């Protein structure tokens, strides 16, 4: 029987996975020999996977997008990369929405046992790996600056409140993007690297192709150091209506890239998959089909891509 490593964050969302552990393990044991591990502190998941992940065929993670990011980052460092099953139980669950993975625990486990593998592109940013978004500028600190207790109580509404508090004090970011055949430089309200249908709970990139080896790069211009009202509106429009409605808009730049460099001040925070990654300049390289996730067999995402 193949081996499975089940890792979960007992603090993600409202802690519902802990009460369902027996059920989840019982179901997984229908096909796998299951080893259960708990994420007890920041970096614990990475330690577990680097020590034991190379000896299993499947890693099942339960938690939010931050938990999934830590799993992805760790799996990408293994020589023998296991497949990844995901039980979304965080506040927003952007990746689950993007891949049509059900949030209901029973249905999520059914998907892991009966779904199909999907080769998902992975972003390597300096020495870190991410699966769906990297950003600097406006709104980008809301995911890690919002209090955990407030997130449990209000859900994704907590992010909106936290972002709204500082919306009119946001400073633009001066940066340069260098890529094969060109460069773009200026001051921007937000710089967004997207590889997902959903970001911040909104369907920002409805027709995203998640395994073409490319990412969408969006930059919203800001003429002033403090972001003005109309620039805030443009940014919100991009999130609400989607990238496809903004590609030809004035003051919004769109690039479709596989590798590039971002030159930025050393004190500017970088958000990777909803987590603070670090500060300063960074290089981005897309690894085509870098990680394999289990998705529903009738994968609606594929049908959407074919229609475009």
The yes-or-no verdict on residue 242 having pLDDT over 70 is yes
Mean pLDDT over the full length of the chain? 87
pLDDT of res. 13:
56
User: 4-8, 63-67, 159-163, 267-271 — which one is most confidently predicted on average?
Assistant: 4-8
pLDDT digits (tens, 9 = 90+) for 4-61: 999 997 776 566 888 899 999 999 999 999 999 998 888 899 999 999 999 999 999 9
Token readout for 72 is 């992805």
CA separation for the pair 269, 276 (Å, rounded)? 7
Residues 6+ apart with CB under 8 A from 260: 177, 178, 179, 180, 217, 283, 284
pLDDT of res. 224:
84
Nearest to 303 by CA among 198, 197, 200: 197
Neighbour-count burial for 118-129, b at 16+ CB within 10 Å, e otherwise: bebbbbbbeebb
The yes-or-no verdict on residue 141 having pLDDT over 80 is no
The yes-or-no verdict on residue 215 having pLDDT over 90 is yes
Task: Kindly give the pairing relationship between strand 83-88 and strand 58-63.
Answer: parallel
What are the backbone dihedrals phi and psi of residue 231, each rounded to the nearest 5 degrees, phi first? -70, -40
Token readout for 108 is 């999520």
The yes-or-no verdict on residue 305 having pLDDT over 50 is no
Question: Residue range 181-210: average pLDDT?
Answer: 93
- For residues 147 and 63, the model is more confident at 63
Cβ atoms < 10 Å from Cβ of 117: 11
pLDDT of res. 245:
85
pLDDT of res. 135:
94
Token readout for 287 is 């690894």
Token readout for 113 is 């046992």
Residue whose structure tokens are 């509106």: 233
Lowest mean pLDDT among 9-23, 105-119, 137-151, 196-210: 137-151
Query: pTM to 2 decimals?
Result: 0.87
Confidence class of residue 303 from pLDDT cuts 50, 70 and 90?
A: low
Domains, the chain, in order of start with CATH, read 2-114 (3.40.50.10330), 129-287 (2.60.200.40)
Q: How far is CA 46 from CA 50, 71, 293, in A?
A: 6, 7, 18
């Amino acid at each position: 029987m193949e081996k499975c490593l089940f890792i979960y964050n007992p603090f993600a969302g409202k802690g519902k996975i802990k009460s369902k552990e027996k059920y989840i393990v019982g179901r997984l044991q229908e096909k796998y020999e299951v080893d259960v591990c708990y994420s007890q502190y920041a970096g614990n998941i990475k330690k577990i996977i680097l020590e034991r992940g190379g000896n299993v065929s499947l890693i099942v993670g339960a938690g939010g997008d931050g938990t999934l990011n830590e799993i992805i980052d760790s799996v990408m460092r293994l020589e023998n990369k296991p497949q990844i099953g995901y039980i979304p139980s965080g506040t927003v669950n952007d990746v689950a929405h993007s891949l049509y993975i059900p949030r209901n625990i029973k249905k999520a486990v059914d998907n892991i046992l009966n779904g199909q593998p999907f080769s998902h592109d992975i972003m390597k940013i300096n020495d870190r790996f991410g699966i769906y978004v990297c950003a600097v500028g406006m709104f980008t600190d809301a995911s890690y600056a919002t209090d955990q207790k407030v997130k449990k109580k209000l859900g994704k509404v907590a992010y909106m409140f936290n972002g709204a508090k500082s919306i009119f004090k946001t400073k633009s970011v001066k940066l340069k993007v260098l890529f094969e055949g060109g460069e773009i430089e200026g001051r921007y309200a937000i710089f967004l690297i997207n590889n997902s249908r959903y970001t911040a709970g909104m369907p920002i990139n409805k027709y995203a192709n998640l395994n073409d080896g490319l990412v969408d790069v969006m930059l919203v211009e800001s003429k002033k150091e403090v972001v003005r009202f109309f620039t805030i509106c443009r940014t919100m429009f991009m999130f609400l209506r989607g990238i496809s409605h903004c590609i030809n808009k004035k003051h919004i730049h769109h690039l479709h890239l596989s590798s590039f460099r971002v030159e930025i001040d050393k004190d500017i925070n970088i958000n990777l998959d909803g987590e603070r990654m670090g500060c300063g300049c960074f290089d981005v390289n897309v690894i085509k089909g870098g990680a394999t996730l289990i998705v529903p067999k009738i994968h609606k995402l594929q049908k959407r891509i074919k229609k475009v």
